[in-house]
């Protein structure tokens, strides 16, 4: 029974990950293809359509092999619930990246042979009033979840003496306690500190969405600008929603220290939270697309220019390394969301700060 529950939980995570990975070439901007910039007008050429279809096929075959491999390992490898799933998911993502690389290098040969940018006017479009518009939702939305986390922390400190000496730390898929931890301020406050860390992390993410470098399509700048604003506001709302749902979920787990809540209730609450957030993210990806590129065009503007070819700064089409660009955050070249400019020291300081915020609650809860 436990193996079936593990498999069901694995598929709940695996299926949306597969769908997003397989359809990524269709969610990316139409001015980019497998990590390379292209003129929008060549997006629907037969050879590019064929590459996207083959990529979907390759990812599908790889996913089927991964699922059957996971099923086989479930009956052979004896590890704690979740560990095999985490390891397998990591291996699956690494294999998917290899599939991407096959098409990345194929795309490189295709672009080199056709020289699409050679006879085009390349330009960069900047809107000087962009930051003055409401491109993200207010950071004030993070005050309520922060207050909830602080209130939870205070209640745990006040009621610390009444808590049992051993606290449940881990359950199996049937709701049985598989591991406990001795009571300490670190173990008791671990979840509430995690709440605070999550709130700070998602607040920083909301700030990052607002400060990310502009990327406006030179061929249709006005339309692209409006789509980009919708794109940022949509993901800003998603970030705020994620913060509320996670803080409330961890509050429920904290309450379980004082009041008996059946483990299956906690498991169902966790599943509901995961399903809602994954469905929300998938909906945004399909409806809005990277940079808002999938939103329906409301004008027929066409300047004939193309974005400046900056492929030399994208390593393998995934890592942005441009020491001449002051921007820290930029849109991903292949995928949905943002990445960093690894050539800027501020990017590494930001990563170290985020890592510290994530590791503090883990270290305290040991």
Q: Determine the average pLDDT of the residues in 101-116.
A: 93
Which is more confidently placed, 203 or 254? 203
pLDDT per residue as tens digits for the range 212-225: 988 888 888 889 99
pLDDT at 40: 87
Decide: 123 and 218 in contact? Cβ < 8 Å.
yes
pTM: 0.85
Q: Determine the average pLDDT of the residues in 239-268.
A: 88
Residue 165 pLDDT class (50, 70, 90 cuts) = confident
User: Is the per-residue pLDDT at 15 higher than 80?
Assistant: yes
**Long-range contacts: 112-115, Cβ < 8 Å, 24+?**
114/42
pLDDT at 259: 80
Residue 364 pLDDT class (50, 70, 90 cuts) = low
User: Is the per-residue pLDDT at 365 higher than 70?
Assistant: no
pLDDT at 1: 63
Q: Spell out the domain ranges in the chain.
A: 1-119, 128-365
pLDDT at 254: 86
Residue 342 pLDDT class (50, 70, 90 cuts) = very high
pLDDT at 108: 95
Q: How is residue 140 written in tokens?
A: 């004030």
User: Is the per-residue pLDDT at 326 higher than 80?
Assistant: yes
Decide: 352 and 140 in contact? Cβ < 8 Å.
no
Query: What gap in Å lies between CA 169 and CA 191, rounded to an integer?
Result: 11
User: Is the per-residue pLDDT at 153 higher than 80?
Assistant: yes
Which is more confidently placed, 79 or 287? 287
Residue in 215, 253, 199 with CA at minimum distance from that of residue 130: 215
pLDDT at 81: 62
User: Is the per-residue pLDDT at 76 higher than 70?
Assistant: yes
Decide: 188 and 156 in contact? Cβ < 8 Å.
yes
């Amino acid at each position: 029974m436990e193996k079936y529950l593990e498999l069901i939980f694995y598929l709940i995570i695996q299926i949306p990950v597969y769908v997003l990975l397989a359809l990524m070439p269709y969610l990316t901007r139409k001015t980019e293809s497998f990590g390379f910039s292209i003129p929008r007008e060549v997006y629907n050429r037969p050879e590019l359509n064929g590459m996207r279809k083959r990529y979907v096929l390759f990812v599908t075959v790889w996913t089927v092999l991964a699922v059957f491999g996971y099923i086989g390992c479930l009956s052979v490898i004896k590890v704690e619930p979740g560990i095999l799933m985490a390891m397998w998911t990591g291996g699956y993502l690494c294999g998917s990246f290899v599939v991407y690389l096959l098409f990345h290098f194929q795309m490189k040969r295709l672009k080199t042979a056709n020289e699409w940018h050679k006879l085009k006017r390349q330009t960069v479009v900047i809107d000087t009033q962009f930051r003055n518009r409401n491109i993200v939702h207010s950071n004030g939305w993070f005050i309520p979840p922060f207050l909830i986390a602080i209130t939870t922390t205070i209640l745990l400190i006040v009621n610390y003496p009444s808590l049992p000496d051993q606290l449940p730390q881990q359950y199996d898929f049937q709701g049985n306690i598989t591991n406990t931890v001795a009571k300490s301020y670190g173990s008791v406050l671990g979840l509430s500190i995690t709440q605070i860390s999550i709130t700070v992390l998602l607040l920083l993410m909301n700030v990052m969405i607002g400060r990310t470098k502009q990327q406006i399509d030179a061929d249709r700048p006005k339309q692209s600008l409006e789509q980009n604003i919708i794109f940022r506001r949509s993901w800003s709302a998603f970030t705020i929603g994620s913060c509320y749902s996670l803080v409330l979920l961890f509050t429920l787990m904290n309450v379980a220290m004082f009041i008996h809540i059946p483990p299956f209730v906690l498991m169902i609450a966790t599943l509901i939270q995961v399903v809602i957030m994954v469905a929300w993210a998938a909906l945004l990806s399909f409806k809005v697309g990277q940079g808002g590129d999938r939103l329906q065009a409301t004008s027929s503007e066409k300047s004939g220019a193309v974005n400046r070819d900056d492929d030399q700064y994208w390593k393998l089409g995934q890592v942005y390394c441009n020491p001449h660009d002051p921007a820290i955050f930029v849109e991903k070249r292949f995928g949905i969301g943002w990445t960093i400019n690894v050539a800027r020291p501020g990017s590494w300081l930001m990563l170290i700060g985020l890592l510290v915020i994530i590791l503090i609650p883990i270290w305290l809860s040991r």
